[in-house]
């Protein structure tokens, strides 16, 4: 993930460690940037899958255009 506030790129697991003291940590749908503390909504799993597939297709298309 990338924090929209500070631009820090981090893993969701790293963000979970910054929420350890929170009582809502297990049911919360937010991810906290370990760098600045900004809270970002979690990306749904289905959206992650679509994003991965689109990036693969995009890379294939760009690769073919470079060879031509």
Full DSSP string of 1-68: -B-TTT--B--HHHHHHTTTT-TTTTT--EEE-TTT--EEEPPPHHHHHHHHHHHHHHHHHHHHHHH-
Position 20 scores a pLDDT of 67
Per-residue pLDDT of the chain (68 residues; tens, 9 = 90+): 888 999 998 887 777 666 666 776 667 778 888 888 888 888 788 888 888 888 888 778 877 655 44
Q: What integer pLDDT is reported at residue 68 of this predicted model? A: 47
């Amino acid at each position: 993930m990338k924090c929209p506030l500070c631009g820090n790129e981090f893993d969701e697991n790293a963000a979970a460690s910054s929420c350890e003291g929170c009582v809502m940590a297990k049911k919360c749908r937010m991810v906290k940037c370990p760098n600045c503390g900004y809270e970002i909504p979690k990306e749904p799993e289905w959206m992650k899958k679509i994003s991965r597939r689109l990036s693969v297709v995009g890379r294939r298309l760009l690769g073919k255009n470079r060879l031509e």
